[in-house]
Structure 1
Amino acid sequence: MSITPFQALACPLDGDPLQRNGNAWRCAAGHSFDIAKQGHVNLLPVQQKRSGDPGDSKAMVAARQRFLDAEHYQPIADALSQAVLKSFPTDATLSCLDAGCGEGYYLRALAKAASEEQALALAGLDISKWAILAAAKQDKGASWLVGSNANLPVQPGTLDRLLCMFGFPVYSEFARVLKPGGMLLQVDAGPDHLRELREIIYPTLKPERTREFQMPQGFTRLHTETIRYPLELNGADSIADLLAMTPHLYRASAEGRAEAASLESLVVTVDVRLVHFSRNTQQAEC
């Protein structure tokens, strides 16, 4: 297995290709983005921020890292890695971006799953500087980028695979950066995901909304996998980490958070959907 940083970066200000020059990435117009000492680069201009510190907080990132390092979501990572690597020739370099990568868990799992003959060019992007800092500290093989899914700093038509894990898909951008025939692998929560925890922290659960699926422009849906299993959490810290790494922490009532904090064990249902999309061979207008 050979892991190389993804090189086809684009300037977030004008879209021109970026070239590495020493400890910075620069475009032809002279825009320059320094590489941090940990190895990552910030490609999120201030004018594209909605707040001074967007995305997950440092505490949320730390909670997610502890939870994922305990391999609670290993079956999801295994299914995702298999989908990414399936049918890709071993004599070619597979380029893959995780759009909303958090602290890099799923890209690290992908690297471990690849065969010795497989070459991977990996990039992880997240709007949270704390997430990218954590990812860069753990892995030096991939390119780690602070950036936004709404304006991916990636050159058009350069990706074989794009991952969107419990994130915010921007299909027009995903279609722009994927090669024709490339794959988007999207993971979202199913109707029963973490139901037992949600029943504790909310007074009532809202009924699931049924809405007709609309195919994203530029894509064809190949198929959908369901990954479902019971997860036993032992210890208040593990339960606290699960709650802290999700938006449920801020949506829950004070009483619900207190009840969850009093638990020493909890069995929750993991229920997610892994959707395989193919980028249409005819590029859509962007």
Structure 2
Amino acid sequence: MSTDAFNALACPLDGGPLTQAGASWRCPAGHSFDVARQGYLHLLPVQKKRSLDPGDSKAMVAARQRFLNAGYYQPVAEAVNAAVLKDTISAAAPLACMDAGCGEGYYLRRLAATDLQLSLMGLDISKWATLAAARQDKRPRWVVGSNANLPVLPGTLDVLLCLFGFPVYSEFARVLKTGGVLVQADAGPNHLRELREIIYPSLKPEKTPTEHPPEGFSIAGKETISYSLTLAGQEAIADLLAMTPHLYRAPAEGRARAEALTTLTVTVEVTLQRFSHQALAVTSTP
């Protein structure tokens, strides 16, 4: 159908509603934020940064863009789309959806290709990721911001995606409508195991995932996406390593072993969960 930009934005400094005025967005208190010439909006105040250039580097974003655009994780994107459609097929249009930690926008672009009428926003703490996303698709609202302080008005989202990201459930509950859906993807215990066995001397025991839903949510569904993926060529293998935290965690000897590979078969294993946002219980006073 159609895809539009999500507009229910909040000032990252005081939480007031932002209104667009030309190439700027302003709140009632007078705070103003300019749209970059590439089309994204920077809503991460310098006082809320933990470093000068937070998030993924330019090189990591470029590697992820090459890898994902090659279609290696298409089954994951299809499962994410199916999870969104499962709970929202009868929702009133347009469906307001944000990808919190959107990277270069791959999954949000795949969702935009469905039959839903959408109002989309992609948010990432990396300006390089948001810049890459804005260059590839002008329809969603691309925002530099933090999951810890989402620049979104309360109760305005139908769907929130957190795919291999850093969930902040209190913020997710704040911005989702009652009955809104959180779709969360995390690496399973066997995800990229073959690559990890090459780059690390030994593998640490996997943490047992909690079976309890986050506060303010109920479990709406859970599934595992698992398949084997063969990468031919050093560039694809290097891109896979570069787009993961393993690039910095692995010892130099392990990275050298990965760089020497010309072919690699790995397991992709992703846990996909759906959570429904619940209304807050109201306690009556006697």
TM-score by length of 1: 0.96
**Structure 1 match to 2:170:** 172
Identity of aligned residues (%): 67
1:4-19 alignment, distance < 5 Å: 4-19=4-19
Query: Is the counterpart of residue 53 in structure 1 residue 53 in structure 2?
Result: yes
Query: What secondary structure sits across from 1:78 in the alignment?
Result: helix
**Paired letter, 1:62:** A
Distance 2:121 2:56 in 1: 19
Cα offset for 1:277?
0.2
Distance 2:228 2:85 in 1: 26
**Paired letter, 1:221:** I
**Paired letter, 1:149:** N
1:1-286 alignment, distance < 5 Å: 1-86=1-86, 87-89=88-90, 91-112=92-113, 114-115=114-115, 118-210=116-208, 212-282=210-280
Query: What secondary structure sits across from 1:60 in the alignment?
Result: helix
**4+ aligned runs moved over 4 Å, structure 1:** none
**Change over 3 Å in CA distance of 1:11–1:143 after alignment to 2:** same
Question: Where in structure 2 are there 5+ consecutive unaligned residues?
Answer: none
**Paired letter, 2:72:** H
Deviation per CA, 1:193-236, whole angstroms, max 9, x where unpaired? Answer: 00000000000001112354332110001121100000000000
Query: What secondary structure sits across from 1:37 in the alignment?
Result: coil
TM-score by length of 2: 0.96
**Change over 3 Å in CA distance of 1:52–1:242 after alignment to 2:** same
Question: Where in structure 1 are there 5+ consecutive unaligned residues?
Answer: none
The answer to whether the 8 A contact 2:224-2:269 is kept is: yes
**Paired letter, 2:214:** P
RMSD: 1.4
Cα offset for 1:90?
6.3
The answer to whether the 8 A contact 1:101-1:124 is kept is: yes
Query: What secondary structure sits across from 1:229 in the alignment?
Result: strand
The answer to whether the 8 A contact 1:180-1:283 is kept is: no
The answer to whether the 8 A contact 2:9-2:18 is kept is: yes
Query: What secondary structure sits across from 1:101 in the alignment?
Result: coil
**Change over 3 Å in CA distance of 1:176–1:131 after alignment to 2:** same
Cα offset for 1:281?
2.6
The answer to whether the 8 A contact 1:218-1:279 is kept is: yes
